[in-house]
Structure 1
């Protein structure tokens, strides 16, 4: 498991982020980088000279074949248009769940649908007899 965690961290560090880096930022330097890896948890953080930053904490949940990593963190970058984006996220058994002011959100559920669902929950369908 420790090898898996280290491999994930190396892959993240080597990931191609050129699609979010402006050409003027091609010479950006890493100004801060912290990594702490243990057998059942990890955390990392980095910041670059052009304002990109990220941090994440994760831990092993479960054991054996049912083991999985649950992580939470955030990252920040500036778009080519000059707008700063902040994303917070959780990644667990429910998938990657980002949150950010710029991300689209689903429309609210109409009141009639909510009432219908509540009615169905209160009046479950009875099994039919043959």
Structure 2
């Protein structure tokens, strides 16, 4: 019975969350003008950074332009993502973001043929 109790105590101790050292915030600047315009800059001592600025958009929204970066897990560099969010949606740019596969040449040719047929007034019944 003592072995079972000891095993339970050990398993509870091993299952306890493992805490990391706290990460210090080295810079945190925020400005909110209350009218949809704002800016912020954030930096942590582990290399994580973020910055953005917002202005009033044409449809009542805040248009935002910003970036964020964080260190790669192997320590070889940083991932940086730049983005814009406005009337045209959210658009992010970074060499680390996945991209769609290129359209195969035969599909491009088929699309060209279909466009020529549409221009010539050719239609197909369903």
TM-score normalised by length of structure 2: 0.64
CA shift for structure 1 position 74? 0.8
Give the total of aligned pairs: 102
Q: How far off is 1:126 after superposition?
A: 5.7
**Structure 1 match to 2:68:** 75
Shift, 1:44, TM fit? 0.9
35, 57, 63: which one pairs with 1:61?
Answer: 57
Asked whether 1:90 is paired with 2:84, we answer yes
Tell me how large the CA RMSD over aligned residues is.
Answer: 2.5
What does 1:1-130 align with in structure 2 at a 5 Å threshold?
Answer: 24=20, 26-38=21-33, 39-62=35-58, 66-83=59-76, 84-124=78-118
C-alpha distance in 1 between matches for 2:123 and 2:51: 52
**Deviation at residue 30 of structure 1 after TM alignment:** 1.6
Larger Rg belongs to:
2
Q: TM-score, normalised by structure 1?
A: 0.62
* Gaps in structure 2 of 5+ consecutive residues: 1-18
* Cα distance in structure 1, aligned partners of 2:52 and 2:103: 33
Question: Structure 1: where are the runs of 5+ without partners?
Answer: 1-22
